[in-house]
Amino acid sequence: MARMSYISSVERYHEYEHVIHSLLESILISIEDGLTKERDTRYLVKQYPFLELQYCLNEQGLQQGNNVCFKRAYAKKLGASGNQQDLSERPYFLQSKANDAVCFTDPYISIATHHLCISAIKELKKPINNHHYLVVDVSLTQLIEFIMGDTARANMSPYFKAGYGVIVACLFGLVLFLLNIVFSDIYALLTHVDTSSDPLEPFSIIIYITLALAVFDLGKTILEEEILMHKDIFRHSSTRRTITRFISTVLIAISIEALLTMFKAALGQAEYLMPAIAMMLAVVGLLIALAIYVYLGAKAETLLMRARLKQKSSK
């Protein structure tokens, strides 16, 4: 499960915009209080892991002092830079000069960290050493994870991905083992032609190919859903997509097995007729159940989205 994509981050930002702005405003007040009373604000780093940069501007929009980096990864790169940088044309500075309220940018890619972030700016009530404006940059993805209580799971994500990677490697190894059997049986079939051999013998090869196909599809689904793609566990659509893909893989495997069993029955082995019919009925049942699940899940999510939009418009 990859970390939150940019699209998901922006969508969540607009969904929780009011909460995010309230949180950042309280953080700016805490930092301002620390500047005024010369208190150490490093405790904020542990409490709010999404903080990235802090700096101050004068009345003309020139940065006063170097960047204050909240993360060690950027401390060496950015900690000794930024002093006297002209930020007077930045939209957040112009917006802050126009009114006294705390101002926030729209999500953007930070030049400093190359991450999706937002900036919050606040005019200091009591300017200190020509510091008139306080600016804080935060990582939007980590901020949303913090807001949603998803930080611990996100931090464990690399270990989850490693576990899924081992499982996928085992599945693909099993596919290679099955294909090795298939190639060996095909070679034996082509090199030892016997007119008196069992006509159903080639079906064992098809069964191995079907198993290899099913296992490969399962491994591919796990690789895409749990390692390569971002899965928003808070949205029903992500879970529904995973279940739909998994059930589709099972349906394909059962359908092919049912077809092969039906061929065996048609070639004279009547005892395979009822199992073939039972598997076909199972396929039909799974298709109907999957259709009902997808329809009801999509309908429920639509109702939830409408309720959220209605709640947001009423505020």
pLDDT digits (tens, 9 = 90+) for 199-216: 666 777 887 888 888 889
Tell whether the model's pLDDT for residue 117 goes beyond 60: yes
**Tens of pLDDT, residues 233-281:** 666 677 787 788 888 878 887 888 888 788 777 777 778 888 888 988 9
**Whether residue 4 has pLDDT greater than 80:** no
Percentage of the residues of the chain whose pLDDT score is greater than 90: 13
Residues 244, 251: Cα–Cα separation, whole Å = 10
Alpha-carbon distance of 215 to 266, in angstroms, equals 28
Closest listed residue to residue 302, CA positions, set 240, 210, 214, 248? 240
β-strand pairing of 131-139 with 116-128: antiparallel
Q: Which two tokens stand for residue 88?
A: 């007077």
Check if the beta carbon of residue 249 is closer than 8 Å to that of residue 221: yes
- Which of the residue ranges 68-77, 88-97, 274-283, 289-298 would you say has the lowest mean pLDDT? 68-77
CB atoms within 10 A of CB 140: 23
Among residues 283, 281, 260, 254, the alpha carbon closest in space to that of 272 is found at: 260
Higher pLDDT, 97 or 159: 159
Whether the predicted pLDDT of 40 surpasses 80:
no
Q: CB neighbours (10 Å) of residue 251? A: 16
The structure tokens listed for 104 are: 């926030």
- Residue 231 pairs in a beta bridge with none
Q: Please, what is the average pLDDT of the chain?
A: 81
Question: Quick check: pTM over 0.75?
Answer: no
Closest by CA to 243, choosing from 289, 193, 178, is 289
Q: Measured between alpha carbons, how far is 163 from 146 in angstroms, rounded to an integer?
A: 24
Residue 102: φ, ψ to 5°: -70, 135
